[in-house]
Amino acid sequence: MTPERSSTSLAVKMDKVSKAFGGVKALDEVNLEIRSGEIHALLGGNGAGKSTILKVLRGVHTADSGVIEIEGKPVIQHSTEAAQKAGIGMIFQEMSLIPTLTVAQNIFLTNEYKDSLGLIDDKTAISKSRELFKDLGVNINPRAYVDELSAGQRQLTEIVKAISQNTRVLILDEPSTALTSDEVDRLFEFLHQIKERGTAVVYVSHRMDEIMRIADRATILRDGRNVITAPISELTIELIIEHIIGIKSGGLSDIERKPVSRGELLLELKNVSGKHRPKNINLAVHAGEVIGVAGLLGSGRSALARLLFGLDPLVSGSIFVAGKEVNLRKPKDAIDQGIALIPEDRLHQGVVIDHSVEENISLSVMDRLSKYGWVSMRRAVENANKQIFDLRIKTPSYRTIVRNLSGGNQQKIVLGKWLASEPRVLILDEPTAGIDIGSKSEIIALVRQLASDGCAVILISSELPELLAACDNIIVMKDGEIVRTIERHELDSPESNNSGASTDLQYAEKKFQQALQEAHQ
């Protein structure tokens, strides 16, 4: 494991680091100091420069100017190889595992154990992988292929891969996005252990509750510049949000909740079951209504979404759209019925990463933009620019390649693509994963507006605050079944008229946590 080091020395010092891409300045003389033996939160909105400064540190990008020191030594020629030798490990938000290799092979890729003949020693790699997973407190089979793992297991494998390389500075970019609450608890316990051994941890997350729980200090960036560096004890969630977005805001608690006005019954499920999950689902969603779906990973939430979008087969039961029974055998059938799905995995299922913003937004409405088989570029550009404006997508142009945008803006492109199709039923699966608090509030407010405009919305989320801010009713799933339905008004504080919005949200969270625990007993 990691050798002990002083908790007072600087593990990393980055001084006046600047970086531009195609004339757009991503970093403008950014300073960042990380101490050995501390957990340092790096915060900011999407496009603030967080990933760029960390990729400069990891050697993925070369700084245009500025100085980098690692454990007091200036870095002259920085590269990914030099960074790895210096003990800098990074878990990328996009994940870097090779799906056709085993867990153990991924963990020790380019750092393989060799036997006496110089051949790769898989047996030792498997044994060492088991030890590392044991330290983390999780049980993952080192012999399993990565494409067999759940999203949470892949994330934990990424973490083990990083710590296997004598890491002295561990960078975690949105590490908890795919983890259950129990896995997050174990991750935090492990981070505290390696912190005590002197490892410097850089923790990037848009989940404010995690930051307040895990971090010692925080640095906040906005528009590629430093805003503040301070001990976490001197910062409140409200102050952090203010520094991130530049104005005072209560985040999700600022979203106004209006009385729901239910319209036409747009989606009805009667005894619906898939091959494995979901099981025997009965559900009705009206125009103007937002139905939340809660439950642990593996509860069948995403399986329900996939079935409704024609990605997984219906085994039994009936699905009705606007009173008419439909057969959703493939996604086109769902699209023809006015159903749209914002998928959980935006990189592999939501966007074509190496195509432009316009090309991605046009995908769902190619028939409307075409005549005699030819796409009208004028219409396509108008369509893209409308979504860019409506969703406040930060992009230099509609021509910009999606890969070059932040994760939050990529997610907005997925939203724009499907909103352009004007769906009657919108299904969102973890729509704010990896998105800053400002963008989260925008997306949840948009969900409420879409419902007000007559859309029927199903929102799947692991984050209670956004379920409580967005939804009218919340169903709880377990083992593929609906085990409880909770009406949002049941969670309101008795003193809600007299207390602040943030207090009301805290009360609702506490009540819902109790209901969730009861449902899973």
Q: Which domains does the chain have, with CATH numbers?
A: 10-250 (3.40.50.300), 254-338+423-519 (3.40.50.300), 347-420 (no CATH)
| Residues 210-218: contacts with CB under 8 Å, at least 24 apart | 210/176, 210/184, 211/41, 211/43, 211/240, 212/237, 213/188, 214/39, 214/41, 214/188, 215/39, 215/40, 215/41, 216/38, 216/39, 216/40, 217/35, 217/38, 217/40, 217/41, 218/40, 218/41, 218/42, 218/43
Neighbouring residues of 333: CB distance < 8 A, sequence distance ≥ 6: 310, 326, 327
In what side-by-side order are the strands of the sheet with 24-35? 24-35, 10-21, 65-70, 73-74
Residue 252 has a pLDDT of 58
In this structure, how many other beta carbons lie within 10 angstroms of the beta carbon of residue 223?
15
Measured CA to CA, the distance from residue 289 to residue 315 in angstroms comes to 27
pLDDT in the model for residue 323: 94
Phi and psi based region of residue 83 (left: phi greater than 0; alpha: psi -120 to 50; beta: remaining):
alpha
Please state, in angstroms and rounded to a whole number, the distance separating the CA atoms of residues 383 and 365. Answer: 9
- Put residue 367 in one of left, alpha, beta given phi > 0 → left and psi -120 to 50 → alpha: alpha
Phi, psi of 374, rounded to the nearest 5 degrees: -110, 130
Cα-based distances in Å from 487 to 260, 384, 484: 12, 37, 10
Pairing status of strand 339-342 against strand 425-429: parallel
Q: Cα-flanking dihedrals φ and ψ of residue 155, to 5°?
A: -65, -45
- Residue 87, both tokens: 């003990």
- The confidence score (pLDDT) of residue 499 equals 45
d(CA 34, CA 346): 31
Q: Helix or strand or coil: residue 421?
A: coil
Q: Looking at this protein, which amino acid is placed at residue 249?
A: S
User: Given this model, what pLDDT does residue 454 score?
Assistant: 92
**CA dihedral (105, 108, 109, 114) positive or negative:** negative
DSSP letter, residue 257: P
Ramachandran class of 137: left when φ > 0, alpha when ψ lies in -120 to 50, beta otherwise: left
| Residue 291: φ, ψ to 5° | -105, 125
Backbone angles phi, psi at 456, to 5 degrees: -100, 125
Query: What pLDDT score does 254 carry?
Result: 58
CA distance 244 to 44: 5
pLDDT of 266 reads 96
pTM of the predicted model as reported, rounded to 2 decimal places: 0.68
What is the model's pLDDT at position 500?
Answer: 44
What does residue 22 show for φ and ψ, rounded to 5 degrees? 55, 40
- pLDDT per residue of the chain (521 residues) written in tens, 0 to 9: 444 444 468 999 999 999 998 777 889 999 999 999 999 999 988 778 898 999 999 988 999 999 999 998 888 878 888 888 888 988 866 567 888 999 999 988 877 888 888 888 889 999 999 988 888 778 889 999 988 887 778 878 888 888 787 788 999 888 887 677 777 888 888 888 889 989 999 999 888 888 999 999 999 999 899 999 999 999 988 888 888 877 665 555 556 666 677 899 999 999 999 998 999 999 999 999 999 998 876 788 999 999 999 999 999 999 999 999 999 999 999 999 999 999 887 777 788 889 999 999 998 888 888 888 888 898 999 999 999 998 888 888 999 999 888 777 888 899 999 998 999 999 999 888 767 777 778 888 888 889 999 999 999 988 777 888 889 999 999 889 999 888 877 777 666 554 445 556 667 767 777 766 666 66
**Rounded CA gap, 235 and 190, in Å?**
24
Residue 398 near residue 381 (C-beta atoms within 8 A): yes
Where residue 322 falls (left for φ over 0; alpha for ψ -120 to 50; beta otherwise) is left
